[in-house]
Amino acid sequence: MNYQQVLETIKDRIDIVDLVSERVPLKRRGRNFVGLCPFHVEKTPSFTVSPEKQMFYCFGCGAGGDAITFWMKIENLDFNDAVKDLADRLGIELPKKAPRGSSKWETYHAINRAVKDYFRDVLLENQRGKTALAYLKKRGLSQETIRTFELGFAPGNYGLSEYLEKRGYDPQDATALGLLKKVSEKTFVPVFRNRIIFPIIDERGRTVGFGGRALGDAQPKYLNTPDSMIFQKGKLFYGEVQTKREIARGRKAVLVEGYLDLISLYQLGIKNGIAALGTAFTDFHAKRLKRWADQVVMLFDGDPAGYKASSRALERLIRAGLLAYQGVLPEGKDPGDYLTPPDAEALKEVIATAEDAVLFRVRRSVETEGEEKDIKDREERVKEGLGFLRLIRDPVRLDLYVKEACEILGLKREILYDIIENSERKYNSAHNDYPNRSGGNPRNGGPWARKGTQRPYLPGKQMEDAEEVLLVSLMQCPELSHEMKKGDVLGMFRNAALRSLGKNLLSEIETRGTVDASRLTHQLGGEEQALLSRLLIGAHQMREDQIRKAFSDGLRILYQRNYKEEISKLDAEIRETEKSGNFEQTIALLKRREAVKKNYQNLIQHHKSR
Ligand SMILES: [Zn+2]
């Protein structure tokens, strides 16, 4: 089965209602199903799933798409991994992309294994490793720990190039792995020099990359091998091969920033540490950690940078559904400082007494440190602290948090919920410049159901509705594309996102003759993708004559606005020329005004007579 066939099969055999129901309780409402949105906090359901269109859309936060999009969002996966997951359920094998098991794949692993041995031997048995070994011992690392984590040392000379050559490895391969650097036709020099080496081992125990810490003052202090065919930094943890089992046993992990931090914890007997690979802690990391743990204690450096990093990690931990705690180290200390003298008890105490990381922030926000903090400053901090509550999806958990936060802040629950929902709205409008629109509420059925409702529309609002109606008609009746292009209808659109979606629809119709929404949805950017889902879900199936009628109505509104704008512009010009006594120009303008009016009346007549 090729990739395209796999996609088709997923579309045919996975029902979006079943898939969503696994995560979100759904209730039938008319043609659709609705539930509480898993992507934002809400009390009344605006998350809508359409079985006929096989699409979902949230009228609260604008998330939308098909089954694959849903799985990507809820599981924090990229497109390919989501497809793989869904294919797995159906028992379909994906075509192999990476040449796993191929000679290249094996060669790369073999090179890394050989290089790891080389670095280790230099550290433990070579004169050149003496300073490094002394440094590690001074930091309090035992011989056993050094062996467990297979630490090594990259000497300052070019010995590695020679070593690999002697074993018959192609220097080009070592270059692809970021171990050697080509400096001339035949000369390759080692990338890591004078650095303590931390081999990075994947879950199957294979050496996939290296981290190197400068022994002297060389910059950067930490250096990692780049991503390669066998190594992706954003997806692996340092130390997982040593600590994963212990984490899974207690469903609890201690998240630290650096390699040495993790190693120090381990030596002190705290064997459930985990660290990202030099780079930031990603959503993927959080999601992966969720498989082994429910609780995470963040043990970051006790300085502002460490606090900031922990805030970023916290956001991702909450999103993945993990409970996070803030271990607070004294300012300027890191976990490694507890090795000399060994003080496991003190560190265990910090971990055991770690406060819930969200409440920690709420509490910190009201603690006044002296008189210099003004109200504005404190208000910002309260809101920032509460901003984290917005990310909590589980309503029960959220309610418990709100209860606690109310006590800390001395606020009423209603007020707190108000603040949370407000910060949510702010967040949404900052991330999606197509605003939330009560007019698109599922209860009144989207753009088609507006007729007959007595709600007064703001002019701008009505325009957007007309633009939406035109696009929905176009999707249901592709023949309308000619009229759309003929009058440059999209050129009259005011909403840029709708105009851009319209362009995509037109080119889709031009190349395929029809709109395959599910295919199109994965080609569009996030905002247009959500827009497309919303329009599709809001649209009723209609007869062609109804569609054409709606299309004409939409066009009329657009023409009318254009006409009014043009007329008022002309009127202003006419007043100017009258004032200056330029009769010739005034008459010319009056004639133009007449022509515009006539043209408009013709257009309106044309669309009425249909
Ligand atoms: Zn939502």
**C-alpha 127 – ligand 1 centre gap (Å):** 62
Per-residue confidence (pLDDT) for residue 243, from 0 to 100: 93
What value does the mean pLDDT take over residues 326-344?
89
pLDDT value at 443 more than 70: no
**pLDDT band at residue 181 using 50, 70 and 90 as cut-offs:** very high
**C-alpha 537 – ligand 1 centre gap (Å):** 14
Per-residue confidence (pLDDT) for residue 245, from 0 to 100: 86
**C-alpha 39 – ligand 1 centre gap (Å):** 5
pLDDT value at 58 more than 70: yes
Indicate the range of 144-153, 272-281, 478-487, 529-538 predicted with least confidence.
529-538
- Please, which residues have CB within 8 angstroms of residue 527's CB and are 6 or more apart in sequence? 62, 432, 433, 434, 497
**C-alpha 428 – ligand 1 centre gap (Å):** 10
pLDDT digit string, tens, across residues 37-51: 998 888 889 899 998
**C-alpha 38 – ligand 1 centre gap (Å):** 7
**C-alpha 41 – ligand 1 centre gap (Å):** 7
Report the percent of the chain where pLDDT is more than 70. 89
**C-alpha 400 – ligand 1 centre gap (Å):** 21
CA dist 347 and 268 (Å) reads 9
**pLDDT band at residue 373 using 50, 70 and 90 as cut-offs:** low
Can you list the domains of the chain with their CATH numbers? 3-89 (3.90.580.10), 103-228 (3.90.980.10), 235-353 (3.40.1360.10), 366-431 (no CATH), 446-608 (1.10.860)
Chain mean pLDDT for the chain: 83
50 contacts 536 by C-beta, under 8 angstroms: yes
**C-alpha 62 – ligand 1 centre gap (Å):** 6
**C-alpha 292 – ligand 1 centre gap (Å):** 28
**C-alpha 201 – ligand 1 centre gap (Å):** 39
**C-alpha 196 – ligand 1 centre gap (Å):** 47
**C-alpha 469 – ligand 1 centre gap (Å):** 23
**C-alpha 213 – ligand 1 centre gap (Å):** 44
**C-alpha 527 – ligand 1 centre gap (Å):** 14
Top pLDDT among 432 and 559 is at 559
**C-alpha 31 – ligand 1 centre gap (Å):** 19
**C-alpha 61 – ligand 1 centre gap (Å):** 4
What Å distances lie between residue 334 and 153, 167, 258, 281, CA to CA? 23, 41, 9, 18
pTM of this prediction?
Answer: 0.56
**C-alpha 390 – ligand 1 centre gap (Å):** 12
**C-alpha 35 – ligand 1 centre gap (Å):** 10
Per-residue confidence (pLDDT) for residue 368, from 0 to 100: 59
**C-alpha 63 – ligand 1 centre gap (Å):** 6
**C-alpha 45 – ligand 1 centre gap (Å):** 9
463 contacts 557 by C-beta, under 8 angstroms: yes
**C-alpha 36 – ligand 1 centre gap (Å):** 8
Q: Number of C-alpha atoms within 13 angstroms, CB side, residue 601?
A: 6
- Please, which residues have CB within 8 angstroms of residue 320's CB and are 6 or more apart in sequence? 76, 283, 286, 287, 289, 290
60 contacts 47 by C-beta, under 8 angstroms: yes
**C-alpha 40 – ligand 1 centre gap (Å):** 5
CA dist 37 and 59 (Å) reads 9
Other Cβ atoms closer than 10 A to 391 = 19
**pLDDT band at residue 115 using 50, 70 and 90 as cut-offs:** very high
String of DSSP letters for 423-451: HHHHHHHHH-SS---GGG-GGGTGGGGGT
31: left (phi over 0), alpha (psi -120 to 50) or beta: alpha
Per-residue confidence (pLDDT) for residue 330, from 0 to 100: 86
What value does the mean pLDDT take over residues 10-21?
90
**C-alpha 54 – ligand 1 centre gap (Å):** 17
* CA triple 371-372-378, angle to 5 deg: 95
**C-alpha 419 – ligand 1 centre gap (Å):** 17
Report the percent of the chain where pLDDT is more than 90. 35
Per-residue confidence (pLDDT) for residue 494, from 0 to 100: 85
What value does the mean pLDDT take over residues 352-361?
92
**pLDDT band at residue 394 using 50, 70 and 90 as cut-offs:** confident
**C-alpha 538 – ligand 1 centre gap (Å):** 16
Residue 491: DSSP 8-state = G
**C-alpha 515 – ligand 1 centre gap (Å):** 26
CA dist 429 and 435 (Å) reads 6
Top pLDDT among 86 and 78 is at 86
Identity of the residue numbered 223: L
**C-alpha 473 – ligand 1 centre gap (Å):** 26
pLDDT digit string, tens, across residues 561-585: 888 888 999 999 988 888 888 888 8
Per-residue confidence (pLDDT) for residue 445, from 0 to 100: 35
pLDDT digit string, tens, across residues 124-147: 999 999 999 999 999 999 999 999
**C-alpha 82 – ligand 1 centre gap (Å):** 20
pLDDT digit string, tens, across residues 212-261: 999 978 888 889 998 888 888 888 899 988 998 899 888 899 999 989 99
Identity of the residue numbered 587: I
- Please, which residues have CB within 8 angstroms of residue 330's CB and are 6 or more apart in sequence? 302
Alpha-helical runs (H) found in 539-582 = 544-579
CA dist 66 and 580 (Å) reads 61
**C-alpha 466 – ligand 1 centre gap (Å):** 24
Strands lying side by side in the sheet with 355-356: 237-238, 273-276, 252-256, 295-299, 323-327, 355-356
Per-residue confidence (pLDDT) for residue 439, from 0 to 100: 33
- For 255, phi then psi, to 5°, come to -90, 120
DSSP strand pairing (295-299 vs 323-327)? parallel
**C-alpha 385 – ligand 1 centre gap (Å):** 21
